[in-house]
């Protein structure tokens, strides 16, 4: 009987050692993937910062003004003036229909259950 208990204990130790070995390698693989993703994120942030800088450089007011002047004949772009905008009283708002309640429903017993 003792031999069987020893054998079972040894098998259990081997099984747990095998499980711990697999978990160790799975954890190391997850850590490698995490490091790789962090590097990719850092590279993406560098690219994003570069693109933002390029966007700011390309959208300088002086540069845009020069482009508008160079392409005036083709595009016909003019500076905005205040008289190009409409006044608030010129906006046509939709007419809201008035909601008419013909037969009210009692929602509270505060009035003694009477309909209003």
Query: What pLDDT, on the 0 to 100 scale, is given for residue 46?
Result: 98
Query: What pLDDT, on the 0 to 100 scale, is given for residue 116?
Result: 47
Inside any domain, residue 101:
no
The 10 Å CB-count burial string (b at 16+, else e) for 3-31 is eeeeeeeeeeeeeeeeeeeeeeeeeeeee
**Which pLDDT tens digit goes with each residue over 92-114?**
888 888 878 777 776 666 655 55
Dihedral class, residue 76 (left if φ above 0, else alpha if ψ from -120 to 50, else beta): left
Inside any domain, residue 91:
no
Task: Print the domain residue range for 56.
Answer: 2-77
Question: With bands split at pLDDT 50, 70 and 90, how would you rate the model's confidence at 9?
Answer: very high
**113 CB contacts (<8 Å, ≥6 apart)?**
106
Query: What pLDDT, on the 0 to 100 scale, is given for residue 27?
Result: 96
Inside any domain, residue 18:
yes
Number of residues assigned to the chain = 116
The pTM assigned to this predicted structure is 0.49
Inside any domain, residue 20:
yes
Inside any domain, residue 46:
yes
């Amino acid at each position: 009987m003792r031999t069987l208990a020893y054998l079972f204990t040894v098998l259990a130790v081997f099984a747990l050692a095998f499980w711990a070995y697999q978990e160790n390698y799975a954890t190391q693989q997850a850590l490698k993937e995490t490091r790789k993703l962090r590097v990719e994120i850092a590279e993406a942030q560098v690219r994003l910062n570069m693109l933002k800088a390029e966007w700011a450089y390309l959208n300088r007011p002086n540069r845009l003004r020069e482009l508008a002047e160079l392409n005036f004949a083709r595009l016909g772009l003019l500076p905005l003036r205040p008289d190009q905008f409409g006044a608030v009283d010129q906006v046509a708002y939709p007419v809201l229909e008035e909601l008419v309640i013909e037969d009210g429903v009692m929602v509270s017993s505060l009035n003694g259950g009477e309909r209003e």
